[in-house]
Structure 1
């Protein structure tokens, strides 16, 4: 009984264990099925993730290839831009060189412009000087015309006929007669009968001397004078008008002496320039030297005059032949012609048939002084004059 009881209890225990095992097996099976379903779901998810990764990798590779292409393009662009930068740098260097050359040229052009302005101012001053000389020549012309009228009136009132010397080879209205008459005037200035003219010319020479001193002082004080300006001649004329305010206007010789003095000072100031006014001044100086040479022959003419005055038979004839030359328009005696300088010998190529007016004679003389040449030709009404 005891054994049966113990076997019965062990059977119950075994059955209980069997039931527990069955339940545990059922729970494990359910858990395994659950795990299987979960594993399947996880595998599906994993497959989906793998597919997504593959797709993303494919897209990434496509993007990488496109980025690589863009990088290659950017690299090419960078190399091209580098070349352009190098070219632009070379152009910048060239432009800088050109800018430097242009700056130098600009400076040179500015210097040329300054020189051109200076030359323009100088030419303007020379033009003013020539205009003033032209006005002076016109005044000389009017003065000479008035003097001719006065001399004609005197000759008519005196009733002394003018005669020609047998040695005269040119017409009385020729330029040779004018120049020889001028020389006769210069030679006759030393005659004691012309005391008034000597006093006047002495006063003129003193005035010119004072003017020269003032001009030298002014030139020493101011060093910015433009060459060719008209300051010297204007100062000479103004000083002459101030010093001789009570007298009449200066005649032709006085103005020529003033022009010679101003020309000598201007030649000292500008020794290197030879323009038209300078040539005129040199010509005036040459004429002054010729005048001095003719004045040096005064003794010879005085001796001739005394010798002829000692001859009673020829005294009346000599007094008629010796005509006093009072202006450059006079056509006086020809007795002293062989003793004048050779430079004043004039040859007519063709004589004209009618006499020249006094205005044409003076105009030709002044034109020859203002335009000195080796061979000067004066166009008249119907003749040419050749100076040599």
Structure 2
């Protein structure tokens, strides 16, 4: 007998930020990701009050399992608050995602900083509840099974294939088809005959957006050239820790003349944790930035926007996309060819005249997919 499957975006529907989705399989209550978002400088989270008002659960303590796809804050930033409300839920992520998440949700808030000891201990206790999983591992929860696949995007990111009866549902999180500086591309389940894919489609409404795959290479080349040939130190501001680690890796790959690369503590601590998990990044030219500005021409990488050294350097902002563009999303969907695609994590359309991914895919005679651009606070039966 086929079980009812219900899907509700609690955040990260047709906007970016606070990605969080409720999936009900029979009487099993599942949460996919638990992120935060920023709007005009104000932090916002998923709307769990809407979930409580539905007929499906009466208390957050009824949540059975929480699965985190990867460690970007728009997918994991709300996790500790959610775990406070879901004391009986199992929480699952890969080991690398757990390390990255602990750094962002615990280390940066409590290590070396004054804080309430009870608050710190409570956060530590919650993090210890997290169970780690491996790629290609399958877990059987009775009502459903879930298998974890590499998603690419950043180290540790995973897609999840849920199977209940003959129904197969794939949740992508953020993913990448192609390799990046730190990780291989995603692994698409073979011969799985996906019924429904819940896909993060940041650029699903941007047909003219093409990711500049060479952006990281151009920026790394410019930085090394400025320091080596112009004998001028350069400060690189990084918007995300994971991008900072990717950029260090690319600089190190190309730095054959030994330009000193200084890294502030906020990034270096995370890099060291990654290295302990067999993700090689550093080389002998990397150093931690101390209290005094080095006298030799060098590169300084920081994620701190208010660095005290900003006025002593030529500064650039280093940024590049880790998300799939419109055509890559189209390739991904063509390879899976699901019966249904639930598109979430969408940026706003640039023009009402632009084709969405649905309109583009409908031009393919082999496409069998029906599309739903899922809104927050709406209930969908899969």
> Shorter chain as normaliser: what TM range?
under 0.3
Bigger proportion of residues as strand: 2
* Bigger CA radius of gyration: 1
TM-score, reference length from structure 2: 0.25
Bigger proportion of residues as helix: 1
